[in-house]
Amino acid sequence: MLTEELRNEAEPIIEAIYNDTFIQGLIHGNIDAAAVIHYLRADSLYLEEFANLYAMLIAKSDSKDTVKFLLSQMEFLLEGESEAHAVLAQAVDMPYEDIIRDGAWYPSADHYIKHMYFNAFSRENIAFTLSAMAPCPYVYRRIAEKAMARHTFEAGHPYRGWFEFYARDMDDTLDVMLTIIDNEAERMPAEDMKQLRRNFIESVEHERRFFNMAATKERWMEVDVHA
Ligand SMILES: Cc1ncc(CO)c(N)n1
């Protein structure tokens, strides 16, 4: 199965993400608050676009079950994931709304978002876009699983709820995404299947860059989007 292979290929990158500054900082509870704030500013905008991408995929879907899935995911995204963000906001002791007021598509987030949109705009088959989107739930779930397996988060740990959320709540999203990708891949020419692979692995790399973006507070040097 294609997505099983892709998950195996992604594993060393995910292990690297796990060992990078951002996740290690969350695990040990000593992350720079400014990095968490930078992450939330970018991620709130990223998730907004993720919801917009679901809407684009709905327009491309002819199966009722797929439409239902995409709708439910959109709702989950708009409601549920705020729980994970709330944990981070609380840990840095700032109201969430105040944090995200000044967000921007910082360069790495910008690249990742446009990678997904390129597939949505240029391909009719939703498997292309889904192959670029699936690493979003997958990478977070794997990281959360690794963290929970390797560490004991005491009750008062400021980031415990973040890891618990992603260890618990990503399965449904992931299963349906991977099933659609595998079903479509079976009927595709080799060239297209290669693109699904590239899309998936590139997004796993984008996930790494996104956390590093937050850790280094990466921003555009010349573009002021609030001008
Ligand atoms: C960039 C990014 N990837 C994945 C997730 C998990 O949904 C997230 N919130 N943000």
Q: What does the domain layout of the chain look like in residue ranges?
A: 2-218
User: Options 1.25.40.340, 1.10.645.10, 1.20.910.10, 1.10.10.10; which CATH number does 2-218 get?
Assistant: 1.20.910.10
- The protein residue whose alpha carbon is closest to atom 3 in ligand 1 is 136
pTM of the predicted protein model: 0.95
Q: Residue 124 contacts by C-beta under 8 Å, 6 or more apart in sequence?
A: 60
Indicate the top mutation candidate among 36, 142, 210 to test ligand 1's pocket, ranked by most ligand atoms within 8 A of CB: 210
Tell me how far apart the alpha carbons of residues 203 and 209 are, in angstroms, rounded to a whole number: 9
Write the pLDDT tens digit of every residue in 108-134: 999 999 999 999 999 999 999 999 999
Structure confidence at residue 191 (pLDDT)? 97
Write the pLDDT tens digit of every residue in 160-199: 999 999 998 778 789 899 999 999 999 999 999 999 999 9
Taking each continuous run of H as one helix and of E as one strand, the counts in the chain are: 12, 0
Question: What does pLDDT average to over the chain?
Answer: 94
Taking the alpha carbons at both ends of the chain, their separation in whole angstroms is 48
If you average pLDDT over residues 101-105, what whole number do you get? 92
Enter the ipTM.
Answer: 0.98
pLDDT bracket for residue 216 (50, 70, 90):
very high
pLDDT bracket for residue 80 (50, 70, 90):
low
Under the phi-then-psi rule, with left for phi > 0, alpha for psi from -120 to 50, and beta for the rest, what region is 93?
A: left
pLDDT-above-90 percentage for the chain: 87
Q: Residue 225: is its pLDDT beyond 70?
A: no
Cβ atoms of 40 and 100 within 8 Å: the answer is: yes
Tell me how far apart the alpha carbons of residues 198 and 191 are, in angstroms, rounded to a whole number: 11
Structure confidence at residue 226 (pLDDT)? 55
Tell me how far apart the alpha carbons of residues 108 and 105 are, in angstroms, rounded to a whole number: 8
Structure confidence at residue 227 (pLDDT)? 47
Cβ atoms of 133 and 177 within 8 Å: the answer is: yes
Write the pLDDT tens digit of every residue in 29-64: 999 999 999 999 999 999 999 999 999 999 999 899
- Ligand 1 closest atom vs CA 112: 1
Cβ atoms of 126 and 57 within 8 Å: the answer is: yes
**Closest-CA residue to 26 (of 163, 145, 136, 140):** 163
Structure confidence at residue 48 (pLDDT)? 92
Q: How many CB atoms sit inside 10 A of residue 71's CB?
A: 13
- Ligand 1 closest atom vs CA 84: 9
